[in-house]
Structure 1
Amino acid sequence: MLNTYKVEIKPTAKQTWLIDSHISGSCLAYNLFLDINKQRYEQDYYYLDADAFNKWFNHEYLEANPDDMWIKNLYAKSVKQAFIDADVVMKRFFNKQSVFPHWRSFKCGQGSYYFVKNNKTSIISCQHHRIELPKLGWVCLKEVGCISTNADYFVIKQGWIKFQAGRYYLTCLVE
């Protein structure tokens, strides 16, 4: 059974900077995906899906734009998830299920930092008052005991950190 928990977190100053850079990287990746595929659509080129775009981004775009190499220091699955999210909304646009997607803005709180359990043996550790996240380390939870900590029965599969109204929130999917 899958459950979702949402809780406010209290990151340190360094963790706040890291979360903001991850959210900015996700916004950059999402907006770049939309921009490049919009240009390709207008010029009658074929559409690049998330996997093809990820390969193009890592092999061609970053080599041509060394100023954006900072994105390689971020959690790679967070950037890839931004490509997947943009791919989903673009396909909805092509199927005439929605209008052309809007760009993400860090100011509007539309970005998120995505993390996932990498494989069957690795776990995302959670204690009574804190959680260990990739690239961030241990982050304190504002509410103590709101996420179950029994690792034998509850496994955190994936999650997002979002910035809303001046606060950081953790949403995680637990099996």
Structure 2
Amino acid sequence: MKAYRTELDPTRAQASLIRQYCGVSRFAYNWYLDCAQAYYRENGLFLTGYSFSKALNNSTRPDWFTAAPSKAVKHAIMNAEKAFRRFFNHQGGYPRYKRRGNRDSYYVIGSIHVQRHRIRLPKLGWVRLKEKGYIPTGRTPKSATVGIVNGRCYVSCLYDMDNPLPAPATGEPLGMDVGLKNLAILSDGTVFDNADTSGRIRKLERRKRRLERSLARSRRANQGKDKEHGWHNYRKILLRKRCVEQRLANIRTERMRRVCDELARRQPSSLTIEHLNVKGMMKNRHLAPALHKQALATFLELVEHTCHRHNIELRQVDRWYPSSRLCHECGWKNTGLTLNMRVWRCPMCGSRHDRDVNAALNLRDATEYQLI
């Protein structure tokens, strides 16, 4: 299975229908949560998504509800049932209601046809694509998900592909240390800078702070006003702020993908990384803002996907492995190493180490690891 995601260029009428169908899917999701909770309180039993969907089809529904694709409604109901099952199996938290503007999307299957510059979706017709030639045209997509992110419409097409894995990579093994100052440091000395050091990011961060101040002033000015007849400027500023945040996220994600592409070009026989407790690190209020921007968990997921796609052996050492404190030359352990010490010298052999490069070298030569 492989997914292709690109941006749509819908007409005004098509954009209005996409928002309507997203709203119907969100309403069906929340409706099932309400009914499942009430059914469990009254009967002590679990309401399956199939039973709720069957009862829904045999009941009277408004026209705006039946106008949406039927598969979109059923898929939203089954997603809500999955969230409840995960909660009962202690695999996740209690399901929460979906809100408008928070990852709005809907799911379709059926007559989906793709051409170089447009795509045909059920009940929408032909919709233009902003990126031409990206989605494959030789096969029919298995399904598609249409979503709205900060006022822009996207489509993700899922294809059933059985791509054989390439031959195992035969390059030199590498170790990779990730951090906040630099995104990634390889054992051969290659350093990939953090995207936040660029002037483009700093300019967007200043714009974001200005919009946040405007948003706070607009919120105070609209206190007590009706939500339907007021708050227009507040919503406009909020959309502009979300667009800037999305642009920042896109720049950082593109930087991560470039690092993964560089790893794929080198074709190392093995890549060793360190198991990071990102969730635990986020509890540190001093590191949390930088960790949130760096998105290390997302970066490690992209690295794992890249290694799997190019048949590179991915190794992971334990989170307590002292990669930065061990001298790569003689193995002496520096127990007094602190975070602000970027360079240190080994008193046993006299070797001078860069903290991050030394950690990458120790990761490369680690003998106790787990294959991912």
Q: Tell me whether 1:163 sits opposite 2:148 in the alignment.
A: yes
Q: Tell me whether 1:106 sits opposite 2:94 in the alignment.
A: no
Aligned positions of 1:1-175 closer than 5 A: 2-60=1-59, 63=60, 68-109=62-103, 111-117=104-110, 123-150=111-138, 154-175=139-160
Runs (5+) with no aligned partner, structure 2: 161-372
Q: Distance in 2 between matches of 1:108 and 1:87?
A: 19
Using structure 1 for the length normalisation, give the TM-score.
Answer: 0.86
Q: Distance in 2 between matches of 1:113 and 1:138?
A: 17
Q: Distance in 1 between matches of 2:117 and 2:106?
A: 20
Residue identity opposite 1:142 in structure 2: K
Q: CA deviation at 1:107?
A: 2.0
Check whether the contact 2:142–2:158 (CA below 8 A) recurs between aligned residues.
yes
Q: CA deviation at 1:106?
A: 1.7
* Alignment correspondent of 1:120: none
1:71-123 CA-partner distances (Å, limit 9, x unpaired): 112110000000110010011111121111111112223x3121113xxxxx5
Q: Distance in 2 between matches of 1:69 and 1:14?
A: 18
Q: CA deviation at 1:24?
A: 0.3
Q: Which deviates further from its counterpart, 72-81 or 45-54?
A: 45-54
Q: CA deviation at 1:48?
A: 1.7
Q: CA deviation at 1:58?
A: 2.0
Runs (5+) with no aligned partner, structure 1: 118-122
Q: CA deviation at 1:46?
A: 2.2
Q: Distance in 1 between matches of 2:53 and 2:68?
A: 14
SS of corresponding position for 1:43: helix
SS of corresponding position for 1:173: strand
Check whether the contact 2:40–2:47 (CA below 8 A) recurs between aligned residues.
no
Residue identity opposite 2:3 in structure 1: T
Moved over 2 A (4+): 42-46
Q: Distance in 2 between matches of 1:36 and 1:155?
A: 36
Q: Distance in 2 between matches of 1:3 and 1:107?
A: 27
Using structure 2 for the length normalisation, give the TM-score.
Answer: 0.42
Q: Distance in 2 between matches of 1:69 and 1:90?
A: 28
Q: CA deviation at 1:44?
A: 3.4
Q: CA deviation at 1:45?
A: 3.7
1:21-68 CA-partner distances (Å, limit 9, x unpaired): 1000000000000111011222334222111000111223xx2xx5x3
Q: Distance in 2 between matches of 1:13 and 1:88?
A: 34
The structure with the larger Rg is 2
Q: Identity, % of aligned pairs?
A: 36
